[in-house]
């Protein structure tokens, strides 16, 4: 899986979002691995930002600051939600996907009250996957980022998701063996449709499941 620039992937998401919202394209899920980048959601505080002067991309999702980069699978579902739209249920479905896939490697991922994402509890709690979404015209953008075998050092220069009393972890670290991005992509493709089905305007049982698209380069073939 080639590294994909964040801005290129964001532009692709916007194109797909417009197509899904207007009915020109079915629900689509992008699975990819970004080149290293910090992204800041709408609630990012000044104190969250990198201490080393690194570039930060301002984005239109919820949440605060996070890092994307090699060794992390990013999942961008661009799907139409059932009416009335329930964003909380949608976020819970993304979290459930990660909880289910983590269990395949013997890692117990959990939700922590008051905090989005998927966590491994302990002293301190450690964030395994970050969630940040946007819904416009009933169709989703952005999604969930799962640390497979990422180098976690870039998180040390920021306050990830604005949380100061917890750490960040990866499936590789928690499982005690290497879990690659491709491993996680395969598992996500297996677990995501069932988790999303109750949230979708057209669930898989009534129509085509979301099309999983692995983006091979910064400018993927369309």
Q: Which residues belong to the active site?
A: 161
Angstrom distance (rounded) from CA 39 to CA 85? 26
Alpha carbon 201 to its chain centroid, in Å, reads 21
Q: Is 34 left (phi over 0), alpha (psi -120 to 50) or beta?
A: beta
Question: Residue 90 to residues 86, 166, 192: CA-CA distances in angstroms?
Answer: 6, 24, 11
Strands 167-168 and 139-147: unpaired
57 DSSP 8-state letter: E
Q: Is 135 helix (H, G, I), strand (E, B) or coil?
A: strand
């Amino acid at each position: 899986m080639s590294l994909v620039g964040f801005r290129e992937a964001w532009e692709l998401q916007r194109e797909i979002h417009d197509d899904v919202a207007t009915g020109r394209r079915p629900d689509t899920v992008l699975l990819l691995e970004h080149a290293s980048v910090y992204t800041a959601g709408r609630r990012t505080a000044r104190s969250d930002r990198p201490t080393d002067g690194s570039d930060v991309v301002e984005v239109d999702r919820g949440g605060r600051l996070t890092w994307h980069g090699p060794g992390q699978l990013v999942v961008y579902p661009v799907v139409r939600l059932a009416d009335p739209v329930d964003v909380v249920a949608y976020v819970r479905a993304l979290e459930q996907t990660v909880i289910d896939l983590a269990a395949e490697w013997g890692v117990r991922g959990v939700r922590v009250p008051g905090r989005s994402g998927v966590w491994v509890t302990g002293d301190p709690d450690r964030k395994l996957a970050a969630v940040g979404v946007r819904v416009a015209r009933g169709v989703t953008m952005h999604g969930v980022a799962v640390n497979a075998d990422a180098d976690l050092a870039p998180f040390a220069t920021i306050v990830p998701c604005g949380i100061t009393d917890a750490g960040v972890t990866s499936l590789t670290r928690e499982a005690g063996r290497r879990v690659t991005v491709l491993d996680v992509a395969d598992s996500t493709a297996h677990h995501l449709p069932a988790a999303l089905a109750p949230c979708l305007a057209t669930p898989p049982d009534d129509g085509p499941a979301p099309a999983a698209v692995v983006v091979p380069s910064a400018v993927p073939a369309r």
